[in-house]
C-alpha cells in the first residue's frame, strides 16, 4: 500500500504574533486597530462560510470596550476565538 507520500506535516497553528500580522495584512486603519471590514476580509480569505456572521461574532467576543474595532490589547481575545472557530492552520486547507 502506498502511503509513501502521506507525510504528515504536524498541523501548525499561527502564534498570536503571526495571527496579528496576518490580520493586519487585510488592512488596518493606520492607527493599529483592526476594523470589522478587515476582519471580514480575513475570514473570507480562509474560504469560510458565514463570513459576515463570524466577523460579527469575533467582534462581539473581542471588542471588550465596545468601540467597534479590535485594539491591540483585544487581539488576543480574537485570537482565542479564531483558534476555536476559524482554525488557524498555517497552511490554508485549500490545495
SS percent in the chain: helix, strand, coil, step 5: 45, 5, 45
Least distance in Å: CB of 47 to Ca ion? 27
Number of residues that bind Ca ion (CB under 5 A): 4
- Quick check: 31 binds Ca ion (CB under 5 A)? no
Considering only 65, 93, 94, 95, the residue that binds Ca ion (CB under 5 A) is: 65
* Residue number, 29 or 67, with CB nearest to Ca ion: 67
Considering only 17, 29, 67, 73, the residue that binds Ca ion (CB under 5 A) is: 67
Least distance in Å: CB of 67 to Ca ion? 4
Least distance in Å: CB of 19 to Ca ion? 16
Query: Which of 61-81 are b and which e, b meaning 16 or more Cβ less than 10 Å from the residue's Cβ?
Result: bbbeeeeebbeeebbeebbeb
**Which positions ≥6 away from 90 have C-beta within 8 Å?**
12, 13, 14, 18
* Site residues (vs Ca ion, CB under 5 A): 63, 65, 67, 71
Amino acid at each position: 500500500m502506498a502511503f509513501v507520500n502521506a507525510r504528515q506535516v504536524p498541523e501548525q497553528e499561527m502564534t498570536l504574533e503571526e495571527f496579528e500580522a496576518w490580520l493586519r495584512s487585510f488592512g488596518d486603519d493606520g492607527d493599529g486597530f483592526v476594523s470589522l471590514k478587515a476582519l471580514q476580509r480575513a475570514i473570507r480569505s480562509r474560504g469560510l462560510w458565514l463570513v459576515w456572521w463570524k466577523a460579527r461574532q469575533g467582534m462581539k467576543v473581542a471588542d471588550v470596550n465596545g468601540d467597534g474595532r479590535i485594539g491591540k490589547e483585544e487581539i488576543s481575545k480574537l485570537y482565542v476565538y479564531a483558534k476555536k472557530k476559524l482554525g488557524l492552520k498555517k497552511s490554508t486547507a485549500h490545495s
